[in-house]
Chains A and B, each alone.
Chain A
Amino acid sequence: MKISPLLALTALLALAITLALGLAPDAAGWSRRGKSDNVFALMFGDGRKLFANQFFTMADVYFHSGYYPSIFDKNSGEQKEIISASHGRKETEEDEKNEDFLGKPRDWIDAFGRNFKIAQHTHLEHGNEREILPWLRLAADLDPQKVETYTVGAFFLREHLNRPDQAETFLREGLRNNPDSYEILFELGRLYRESSHDADRARNVWELGVRKFLAQPLDQQKDNKLVFEEIVVNLAHLEDEAGNYGTAIHWLQTALKLSPNPTGLQKQIDAIQKKMAALLPVAPAKLY
């Protein structure tokens, strides 16, 4: 039997369309990637996290205006300065000295070559901090589970660029992607307290952060004591300002158990106790 090629083509096309219509609803569920609403997740899968780290580093490179150690220099693996800056850490002279990764020129080629590369340690300022934002945005898109991206981005948006609304939106996005992150809750609390001057919201968010931290396994709690200490100390200051001295002392005592600087915290507790003592009603002296 001889089949006409046109007929065969029509039959095959009909079969292909029928199969496509039949399989289409199920095909969407075959690949986990297909479900993703993130274009980077769709394109790179989990490999995107490598790029996210690189983009986060790029933000730090921009923060230093290109003065940054390569993999061949000493200090190449040190903590990113945008992270320490976002925790409010100011640079000391010793830090500056440690970050001079170039050192003295090794030879005349190195000495002459330094005329053609940025060899001066500076940080972005006067609103130029905005230049790190594209890299943080990309890092967040590539790895939504990288919590530092949100906290650092929100810190610079709030503190240096005076844009608390954008900072809050970014933190909220981070919180949607990392619902158990007490780091993001801490930064959100700072935003409410320092930018919105809304102590009640700040308290609620920080208390939630404390609960999230305590809900973690013990070994994870040990590794992340620093943020927890920051939350409880800030809560203590908030309660102190609100006149809730008892609660303030409670938070400071909690921080005291974790802090590497217990003397400073003890002084704060003593100061609050003095304030409490001053408020106590003085018993009237006997006249006779």
Chain B
Amino acid sequence: MNKIFTLAGVVIKELYRRKDFYVLFVLTAVLTLAAGAVNFFRDEKIVRYVKDICLLLIWISSLVITIVTAARQIPAEREARTIFPLLAKPVSRGQVIAGKFLGCWFATGIALVVFYFFFAVITGSKEQTWPVLTYLEAAWMQWCLLAIVIALVLLGSIYFAAPSSTSTISFIVVAGILLVGGHLHVIALQQPEPMQTVLTFVYYLMPHLEWFYLSDFVIYDFGRVPLLKIAEASVYAAVWTEILLLLAWLGFRRKNLTT
């Protein structure tokens, strides 16, 4: 387990050495502050649009950081040929996958904490209310979603040729699931066969990432989701993460690293 945490530590260090996070955080902060500074009809109490914009930026930024960070982990090790001394430590290929996953997950967790802290300060200063538990729920669910995304991207990085293609395909898949995942069954019913069966199959088979989007509860002050449901969704995320990591490990185990 120590080896896995050492590997994870390297990934976390990489996040704060690279500029991705800082650029995206500053961009989010500047756009949110600019939006918050606008005065509509001389009403100082209007706040939901600021929450909406800020959360949208947080979602986009966290997805960019997650996908870009995870996509380059294994290809970068292979390209720099540091994968060989790493495997000669000895560290098993499974530990490499687990270490890279944990590193990316903790790194995105740190990024989420910073983003949500900023969000809470900005909206709290305007609204004068601090629904901390609602924010924690939303952040936790987003972090659970990011675990699935990291596992998915690591799996992609084993099979796709370059980090750029892995990132692009991962973005399309994640955005597709978030936007139409919940409606895929309805779309399937309107299609002729065999498309109907194919889409229905995909609907039941894919990870339902849209469940982890709790921003509406935060924006519209709609209270909290019951903790039992949060726990069930977290288990669901853990199962999907395990499946994808297992598939990544199976692919990586047979991968010829010299080519």
- Report the minimal beta-carbon distance from A248 to chain B, rounded to whole angstroms: 36
Interface centre among A107, A110, A131, A135 (most CB of B within 10 A): A131
Specify which of A72, A110, A115, A130 is in contact with B46 (CB 8 Å cutoff).
Answer: A130
Specify which of B40, B180, B204, B225 is in contact with A116 (CB 8 Å cutoff).
Answer: B225
Interface hits, A186-212 → B, CB 8 Å? none
Whether A113 pairs with B49 at a CB distance below 8 angstroms is no
Quick check: is B213 within 8 A (CB to CB) of the other chain? Answer: yes
CB-CB under 8 A from A97, the residues of chain B are: none
- Report the minimal beta-carbon distance from B4 to chain A, rounded to whole angstroms: 31
Q: Complex formed: what's the CA distance from A113 to B214 in Å?
A: 11
CB-CB under 8 A from A106, the residues of chain B are: 185-186
Binary interface encoding of chain A residues 105-141 relative to chain B, with 1 for a CB under 8 A from any of its CBs, else 0: 0110110110111100000000100110111010000
Of B6-14, B98-106, B215-223, B241-249, the one contacting chain A is B215-223
Q: Complex formed: what's the CA distance from A66 to B208 in Å?
A: 20
Whether A113 pairs with B41 at a CB distance below 8 angstroms is no
CB-CB under 8 A from B47, the residues of chain A are: 131
Whether B186 pairs with A116 at a CB distance below 8 angstroms is no
Binary interface encoding of chain B residues 182-195 relative to chain A, with 1 for a CB under 8 A from any of its CBs, else 0: 11011100000000
Specify which of B183, B219, B233 is in contact with A66 (CB 8 Å cutoff).
Answer: B219
Whether A118 pairs with B216 at a CB distance below 8 angstroms is yes
- Report the minimal beta-carbon distance from A83 to chain B, rounded to whole angstroms: 19
Whether A117 pairs with B229 at a CB distance below 8 angstroms is no
A-B contact number at CB 8 A: 78
Whether B220 pairs with A118 at a CB distance below 8 angstroms is yes
Residue of B nearest to A115 (CB): B229
Quick check: is A254 within 8 A (CB to CB) of the other chain? Answer: no
Residue of A nearest to B45 (CB): A130
Whether B41 pairs with A133 at a CB distance below 8 angstroms is yes
The A interface, classified by DSSP as helix, strand, loop or mixed, is helix
- Report the minimal beta-carbon distance from B100 to chain A, rounded to whole angstroms: 29
- Contact count band on B: 35 or more
Residue of A nearest to B42 (CB): A166
Residue of A nearest to B190 (CB): A72
Whether A134 pairs with B49 at a CB distance below 8 angstroms is yes
Interface centre among A109, A116, A118, A130 (most CB of B within 10 A): A116
Q: In the complex where A110-B185, A131-B46 touch, is A163 in contact with B41 (Cβ < 8 A)? A: yes
CB-CB under 8 A from B217, the residues of chain A are: 118
- Report the minimal beta-carbon distance from B217 to chain A, rounded to whole angstroms: 7
Residue of A nearest to B47 (CB): A131
Q: Complex formed: what's the CA distance from A121 to B217 in Å?
A: 14
Whether A116 pairs with B49 at a CB distance below 8 angstroms is no
Q: Complex formed: what's the CA distance from A166 to B39 in Å?
A: 13
Residue of A nearest to B179 (CB): A70
CB-CB under 8 A from A118, the residues of chain B are: 216-217, 220, 222
Quick check: is B211 within 8 A (CB to CB) of the other chain? Answer: yes
Quick check: is B93 within 8 A (CB to CB) of the other chain? Answer: no
Specify which of B45, B48, B208 is in contact with A109 (CB 8 Å cutoff).
Answer: B208
CB-CB under 8 A from B216, the residues of chain A are: 66, 117-118
Specify which of A65, A135, A166 is in contact with B220 (CB 8 Å cutoff).
Answer: A65
- Report the minimal beta-carbon distance from A67 to chain B, rounded to whole angstroms: 9
Whether A107 pairs with B40 at a CB distance below 8 angstroms is no
A/B interface sample: 27 pairs, CB < 8 A = A65-B222, A70-B183, A72-B180, A72-B183, A72-B186, A72-B187, A73-B183, A106-B186, A107-B185, A109-B203, A112-B232, A113-B211, A115-B225, A115-B226, A115-B229, A116-B210, A116-B213, A116-B225, A116-B229, A118-B216, A118-B222, A127-B45, A130-B45, A131-B47, A133-B41, A134-B38, A166-B41
B-side residues, CB < 8 A to A, are 38, 40-43, 45-49, 141, 180, 182-183, 185-187, 203-204, 208, 210-214, 216-217, 219-220, 222, 225-226, 229, 232-233
CB-based closest 7 A-B pairs: A72-B183, A65-B220, A66-B216, A115-B229, A134-B49, A131-B48, A134-B40
A-side residues, CB < 8 A to B, are 62, 65-66, 70, 72-73, 106-107, 109-110, 112-113, 115-118, 127, 130-131, 133-135, 137, 157, 161, 163, 166, 170
